[in-house]
Structure 1
Amino acid sequence: MVSIKDIAKQAGVSISTVSYALNGSPKVTEETSARILAIAKELNYIPNAAARSLKKRETKIIGVFLTDYSGAFYGQLLQGLQEALTSRGYELIVCSGKESHRFLPERMIDGAIILDVTFSSDELIKYADLGHKLVVLDRELDHPNINQILLDNKAGATLAIDHFIDKGHRKIYAVTGPNISYDSQQRLQAVRQTVERYQDIEYEEIEGDFNKPAGVRAAQQIIAEYSKPVAVFCLNDEMAIGMYNYLSKTDYRVGEHVHIIGFDNIEVSHYTDPRLTTIDYSKRKWGTLAAEHLLKLIANEPLENERIYVSLIDGGSVGTM
């Protein structure tokens, strides 16, 4: 691999002069700089990013850590992240899995955005204690090097259950997410609290996993137990779509026999018939805010935690009883 030492030798100048020229320093004349850059191009010189980051203490790279890459949820979130970072001269890498955690202690990135249950909170606190800058989207942590931007999960779940009640429903199922998911825990807690406000509600929980097969399994159980129209709050849209898919192959119709609300307003939910009623929020804004807050953390600028607010979109899948 070509080094600046090789360029310096061919140009007949010092290594420091080559370094100045490659970094656009005014300490080198335009003529000398042009000659050095031409030689670097001729030799196919590629800067050593690791060495440069050690010297400058920055990589201009931000890592976003996700639990996995599956589902239709992440696209707009990542788009918001990328747009905000690119406009500030940063690149984005998307990581998943425990092996990628080393990017932080090895300082291969300048900071991280966390939406990944494989990080324990203790691990994140440890990195923050070492000076790493983090924005978390999936837990509550109190540390000067950690900022949190969380969905208003409880408000969304409350909107869903209140909507069912307003429509006259009295038999309600909740299809949960993974037990380790912060969002699922928050939504389920709000569901339970809301149901308790009403005296005449039949309420049942079905264990889910935030994916379509979990929605299929929940639909199978609901139909096996079916005696009258029911309302089902799926704690994300993926499970609601799985439920739609299963029910479409039966004599039971969404909006008549089974009334469904999801959470996330993913794009595919726009094309269901009837359209899925769901909890909506701006995933792009969530990503944009996460990026902006992380860059402020890196710059040691003051900032507060923020919350992403939600609303209910009534698509017609929750008929009146």
Structure 2
Amino acid sequence: MATIRDVAKQAGVSVATVSRVLNSNGYVNEDTRVKVTEAIKELNYLPNDVARSLFKRRSKMIGLILPDITNPFFPELARAVEDVANETEYTFVLCNSDNQMEKEQQYLTALKQKYIDGFIVVSSTLTTEQVHELNVPVVALDRIISPHMPSVSVQNYEGAQEAVQYLIENGCQKIAHISGPDYVDNAHARKQGYLDMVRDKDWYEDGLVVDGKYELDPAKKAATQLLEQHPDVDGIFVGNDLMAVGVLKAAEALGIKVPEDLSIIGFDGIALGETTTPALTTMGQPIYDVGSKAAELLINYIEGIPSVHSNHSFGVQIIERETVKKGGV
């Protein structure tokens, strides 16, 4: 494998001159630059990225920390971040924290030691103080860490209200909610949107909100208990699509027909919802746009390009499929 010294010898210049060409640092006349570039091509020389990072204290690398890579929503987000990173010649590193604060901190520390240029984080545990201590650009994605920190999210509260209104308009007489963990700000916002729509209804009662932990199996178990205890529930707003699949499975196991006897609407708009039987009606997020905006915001932040808005909130819209009984008839 060729070294920087081999390139310098081939081009008839010093190692320092080759370094200036590689790092675009300092003056090099055009003839010399051409000689060095040709030598690099002829020798198929690959610069040592670690050494360049140490020299420039920059790596052209960004990290994306996700809480649960098994939830199809997050790989769809990751694809958008990766695409933008590739377009701008940044390396993309994906980390799965398993919703564990310790694991999240380990990734942050390890990548910071490699002079990573910035992070996009989906986190419910990272604090503003910890972000400041990183001393690199950080963008919060999907979940807000601080109102003063750059972020990209969607209108969770409004989307939840629209989902409940859609069930009401289609004839549902008693609507329950399978929520995500309350410590996750978007789950809390979706639950609050539901509550503000139903708490004054004469049919509302305690026990119509149950925690599905944003996971399929816990949601299936929670929905089973809910439907056994409240057999008159005829509509469920589910806090994410992965849990909605669990609710569909619970209904099937109990012999409840969807949508004839029970209408279900999720939240996210992941591709998985198209494959269920019946296909899942949901509040669709513009997932790709959300991920790409976060990457764009971070890279602009790294490059010192000012942004007019540092906090972006996308709207959501109903994707009508087959799990809501139309017109309630």
TM-score, normalised via structure 2 length: 0.84
SS of the counterpart of 2:176? strand
Tell me if structure 2 keeps the 8 A contact 1:293–1:303: no
Give 1:279's match in structure 2, choosing from 272, 279, 283: 283
**Distance in 2 between the 1:140 and 1:62 partners?**
19
User: Which residue does the alignment assign to 1:29?
Assistant: 32
Q: Aligned residues, how many?
A: 313
Is 1:113–2:117 an aligned residue pair? no
Tell me if structure 1 keeps the 8 A contact 2:124–2:145: no
User: Which residue does the alignment assign to 2:198?
Assistant: 195
User: Which residue does the alignment assign to 1:101?
Assistant: 108
Tell me if structure 2 keeps the 8 A contact 1:76–1:284: yes
Is 1:179–2:185 an aligned residue pair? no
User: Which residue does the alignment assign to 2:303?
Assistant: 299
User: Which residue does the alignment assign to 2:99?
Assistant: none
**Deviates further, 19-28 or 206-215:** 19-28
> How many percent of aligned residue pairs carry the same amino acid?
29
**Deviates further, 295-304 or 15-24:** 15-24
**Distance in 1 between the 2:231 and 2:295 partners?**
49
**Distance in 2 between the 1:38 and 1:256 partners?**
67
How does 1:29-48 map onto structure 2 within 5 Å? 29=32, 32-33=35-36, 36-37=39-40, 40-41=43-44, 46-48=46-48
SS of the counterpart of 1:29? helix
**Distance in 1 between the 2:152 and 2:37 partners?**
46
SS of the counterpart of 2:256? coil
Distance 1:102 1:251, change over 3 A: same
Is 1:125–2:132 an aligned residue pair? yes
**Distance in 2 between the 1:89 and 1:251 partners?**
53
**Deviates further, 233-242 or 295-304:** 295-304
**Cα deviations across residues 223-281 of structure 1 (Å, max 9, x unaligned)?**
42243342111100111111212333442111122221111111121133332221012
Give 1:288's match in structure 2, choosing from 277, 287, 292: 292
Question: Structure 1: which amino acid aligns with 2:107?
Answer: S
User: Which residue does the alignment assign to 1:66?
Assistant: 66
User: Which residue does the alignment assign to 1:219?
Assistant: 223
Question: Structure 2: which amino acid aligns with 1:73?
Answer: F
Unaligned runs of 5+ in 1: none
User: Which residue does the alignment assign to 2:316?
Assistant: 310
User: Which residue does the alignment assign to 2:100?
Assistant: none
Question: Structure 1: which amino acid aligns with 2:151?
Answer: Q
SS of the counterpart of 2:159? helix
Question: Structure 2: which amino acid aligns with 1:51?
Answer: A
User: Which residue does the alignment assign to 1:169?
Assistant: 172
Superposed CA RMSD in Å reads: 2.7
How does 1:74-89 map onto structure 2 within 5 Å? 74-89=74-89
Is 1:139–2:174 an aligned residue pair? no
**Distance in 2 between the 1:152 and 1:91 partners?**
30
Question: Structure 2: which amino acid aligns with 1:52?
Answer: R
**Cα deviations across residues 54-97 of structure 1 (Å, max 9, x unaligned)?**
33332111111111211211233222222222222222111133
Tell me if structure 1 keeps the 8 A contact 2:173–2:233: no
